[in-house]
């Protein structure tokens, strides 16, 4: 049927001043915009946070220690093997590694370049928990050189105080050149080693040595092989998991809140953006309902004309399609406008310095465009079904 809808369009009562129609247009546009911007912002924030936090292969690594209070002060507040096994049995915890500290005295000097000497604490941790693991980070008994992984925070702290002490400031590259002499002593005597910083760690605030070095020297100096770890590191899918936090609180374990700060921000943002998304969805549903009322009104007003058109030989199916088609462009324009406004907002978001630093794309994420397309198809389908239902109910 090569028919011009134009010919019958005047027969469909469309009062151009109808407020519900314009309110519908506006509401639909706003609702879709809120939905799209929520999704895009969620994607942007997730990207920004994932680049800032220290997730390694999708896991959070956080350190635990026992809370020191006035009551338990002076008692043994270290983690023993039982504590570690108990932690390992938690479903929310993927893996556990105790930070084993030295049971012997360590004194470090840096020779002539850095004229200082200090008592040191050393710790060792399972290699699986290290964010930077150079191949040289290993030690065998008899080896003179001990590889060390140094906390980036410690280096930063050192650089703050070094000038006041007349010491040179060090870059992450030059620190590996510093020759450190480690003087280890205990009841069994004294051992001298050469320390060499092989990597810096953002994740672990400590001075790490290989596990083998720590075990060997703890045994050598104290002959005590039992576990006394002041801290343990846990590997978990989500450090913000409420059941994990509840378990830690119950056992009076202290978690480094700073390390899960991004996770907390993310979960709050996720909540806020989900709320925004739901609000957007509600507005879209309300706007579509308003449209539905408007369409019903239009069809009811045009009932006599539609009935006569069918009497003359117009197919009800064809009429439904034509009435629906009339709205495809309208929906298309509204959704396109919402996409453009979302794109403009995203452009400004991506222009912020923090976004630029993290290379946030200026263009909308493909899932936002897909969502807009799905909303377009849904709107048209809903319209078609509604018009057809109305026409069928009229029993033309």
Partner 1 sequence: MVISLDGVVPQYIDSKKIPASQVWGKKLEIKKGEHTHIVAPSGTGKSSIIHFIYGLRKDFDGEISYDKNNISKLSPDEFAEYRQQKISIVFQDLRLFENQTALQNIEIKRALAPYHTSEAILAMASRLGIADKLNQMCSSCSYGEKQRIAIIRAMMQPFDFLLLDEPYSHLDENNRKKAMELIYEECGKRGAAMVFADLKPLELLSGEKILLL
What share of residues in the chain are helix, strand, coil (percent, to 5)? 55, 20, 25
Question: Site for partner 1 (CB under 8 A): which residue of 89, 118, 311, 353?
Answer: 311
CA distance 177 to 170: 10
Question: Site for partner 1 (CB under 8 A): which residue of 53, 212, 305, 358?
Answer: 305
Query: Measured from the CB of residue 296, what is the shortest distance to partner 1 in angstroms?
Result: 20
Neighbours of 94 (CB within 10 A): 14
Q: Residue 112: enclosing H or E segment and its boundaries?
A: none
Query: Measured from the CB of residue 377, what is the shortest distance to partner 1 in angstroms?
Result: 25
Q: Scanning residues 10 to 39, which ones bind partner 1 (CB under 8 A)?
A: 10-11
- Give yes or no for a contact between 258 and 54, defined as CB atoms under 8 angstroms apart: no
- Give yes or no for a contact between 37 and 345, defined as CB atoms under 8 angstroms apart: yes
Query: Measured from the CB of residue 387, what is the shortest distance to partner 1 in angstroms?
Result: 14
Q: Print the SS3 string covering 238-249.
A: CCCCHHHHHHHH
Query: Measured from the CB of residue 295, what is the shortest distance to partner 1 in angstroms?
Result: 20
| Site mask for partner 1 (CB under 8 A), range 317-346, x = bound | xx----------------------------
- For residue 58 the two structure tokens come to 């999708």
Query: Measured from the CB of residue 314, what is the shortest distance to partner 1 in angstroms?
Result: 6
CB nearer to partner 1: pick between 113 and 392: 392
CB nearer to partner 1: pick between 99 and 299: 299
- Give yes or no for a contact between 16 and 306, defined as CB atoms under 8 angstroms apart: no
- Pick the closest to residue 174 from 113, 120, 133, 119 (CA basis): 113
- Does residue 164 belong to the site contacting partner 1 (CB under 8 A)? no
Q: Which segment (7-15, 123-131, 146-154, 209-217) binds partner 1 by CB under 8 A?
A: 7-15
Measured between alpha carbons, how far apart are the two ends of the chain, in Å? 19
Question: Site for partner 1 (CB under 8 A): which residue of 23, 84, 255, 310?
Answer: 310
Positions touching partner 1 (CB under 8 A) are 1, 3-4, 7-8, 10-11, 305, 308-318, 396
């Amino acid at each position: 049927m090569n028919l011009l809808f134009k010919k019958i369009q005047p027969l469909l009562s469309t009062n151009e001043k109808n407020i519900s129609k314009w309110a519908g247009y506006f509401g639909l546009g706003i609702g879709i915009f809120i939905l799209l911007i929520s999704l895009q912002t969620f994607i942007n924030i997730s990207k920004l946070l994932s680049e800032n936090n220290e997730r390694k292969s999708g896991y959070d690594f956080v350190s635990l220690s026992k809370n020191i209070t006035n009551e338990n002060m002076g008692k043994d507040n270290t983690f023993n093997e039982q504590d570690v096994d108990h932690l390992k049995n938690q479903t929310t915890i993927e893996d556990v590694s105790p930070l084993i500290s030295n049971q012997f005295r360590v004194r470090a000097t840096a020779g002539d370049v850095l004229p200082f000497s200090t008592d040191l604490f050393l710790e060792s941790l399972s290699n699986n928990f290290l964010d930077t693991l150079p191949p040289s980070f290993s030690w065998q008994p008899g080896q003179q050189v001990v590889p060390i992984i140094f906390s980036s925070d410690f280096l930063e702290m050192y650089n703050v105080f070094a000038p006041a002490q007349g010491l040179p400031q060090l870059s992450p590259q030059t620190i590996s050149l510093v020759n450190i002499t480690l003087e280890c002593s205990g009841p069994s005597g004294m051992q001298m080693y050469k320390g060499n910083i092989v990597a810096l760690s953002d994740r672990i605030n400590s001075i790490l040595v290989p596990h083998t070095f720590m075990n060997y020297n703890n045994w050598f100096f104290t002959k005590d092989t039992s576990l006394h770890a002041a801290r343990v590191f846990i590997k978990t899918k989500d450090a913000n998991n409420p059941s994990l936090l509840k378990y830690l609180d119950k056992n009076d374990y202290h978690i480094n809140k700073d390390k899960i700060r991004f996770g907390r921000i993310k979960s709050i943002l996720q909540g806020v953006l989900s709320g925004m998304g739901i609000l957007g969805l509600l507005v879209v549903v309300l706007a579509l309902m308003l449209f539905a009322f408007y369409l019903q009104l239009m069809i009811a007003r045009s009932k006599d004309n539609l009935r006569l058109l069918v009497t003359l030989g117009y197919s009800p199916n064809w009429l439904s399609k034509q009435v629906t088609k009339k709205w495809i462009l309208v929906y298309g324009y509204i959704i396109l406008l919402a996409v453009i406004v979302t794109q403009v907002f995203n452009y400004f978001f991506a222009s912020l310095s923090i976004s630029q630093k993290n290379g946030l794309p200026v263009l909308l994420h493909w899932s936002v465009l897909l969502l807009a397309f799905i909303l377009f198809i849904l709107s048209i389908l809903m319209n078609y079904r509604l018009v057809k239902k109305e026409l069928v109910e009229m029993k033309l």
